[in-house]
Amino acid sequence: MALASESTQLSTSSTLSLFTKVINFPMSSTSPPTFVCDFADDELPSEDWPEMEFRSPEDKDQAWYGVEPWDMCDSLVVSFNEFPCAYDEVYSPEDFKNSDELKEFEERFRPTSVQMQDSQCPTVNEGTKVCATCPSVTGEVKFYDAIVVAVERTEHGRDEEGSEVCGCNFKVFWNQGPCANLVTSAKVGDICLKREDGRMHPKVVSFFKEARRQLHGGSSQGEETEWQKMLKRVNAAVQNYNISSSVPDNLG
Ligand SMILES: [Zn+2]
């Protein structure tokens, strides 16, 4: 599914600029003279786009990574933050055979989880879903989804600067990753909290819109389209034709 396309060798910023136009207002205008706007998705100014994280595919480590999604023609390019563009992954709307595959891929994107703060400890309880670093034999810091199953609370202290310090022990059950189905201990520094903000990056939204359109032959959601009904009739006709044409060969 992930293609190492040559075109991904372009740097994200230089490619993004292809899709970005600078508008110059006439000098007589009282408005600010220049601003940059992206015509591909003009619902949100770029600074309001939520940062995204992406769960890497089954054939990789399946960990969550901060990413910058951008579009290249109809394809969605996923650039991994802090990784060179050689690691970019390119997905085409045609990569998905059915709605389940598409949904599975869609669930790999979400707004970036944020590092838990010591003062947020009281909000983290049994049942809180988190994204946390999994104890790793290789020492690599990778993030996977887990759920808090118990909290061993201790009284919070203060550091030299007077900031609150949480030393509590969070027992987490791992949904994913090398510790999947195990319970291990985590500290505040190991835990990121999921964002309430469910907004998706507009590039991701428009990619899924297009992929769904292609999958359903132009319909917006699930419903069988006229085209699909027609296809069924065509398929049935072809089958009938095959049956009726499978007459003995020795007729002539
Ligand atoms: Zn605590």
Return d(Cα 112, Cα 192) in angstroms, integer. Answer: 9
pLDDT at 8: 35
* Confidence (pLDDT) at 115: 96
For residues 30 and 117, the model is more confident at 117
Tell how far the Cα of 116 is from the centroid of ligand 1, in angstroms.
Answer: 11
How many angstroms is it from 160 CA to the middle of ligand 1?
Answer: 18
CA of 65 to the centre of ligand 1 (A): 26
The pLDDT value given to residue 246: 53
Measured in Å, residue 167 CA sits from the centre of ligand 1 at: 5
Distance (Å) from CA 121 to ligand 1 centroid: 5
Q: Taking residues 88-107, what's their average pLDDT?
A: 93
Top pLDDT among 247 and 158 is at 158
The CA 178 to ligand 1 mean position distance, Å, reads 26
Each residue's pLDDT tens digit, 180-224? 999 999 999 999 999 877 788 899 999 999 999 988 875 444 455
Question: How many Å lie between the centroid of ligand 1 and the Cα of residue 165?
Answer: 7
The per-residue pLDDT for 140 is: 82
Q: Give residue-wise pLDDT tens across range 73-93.
A: 889 999 999 999 999 999 999
Distance 197 CA to ligand 1 centre (A): 24
What per-residue confidence (pLDDT) applies to 234?
73
What is the CA(90)–ligand 1 centre distance, in A?
Answer: 41
- Reported pTM: 0.67
Averaged confidence pLDDT in the chain = 78
- Domains belonging to the chain, first-starting first, are 6-111+198-215 (no CATH), 114-193 (2.30.30)
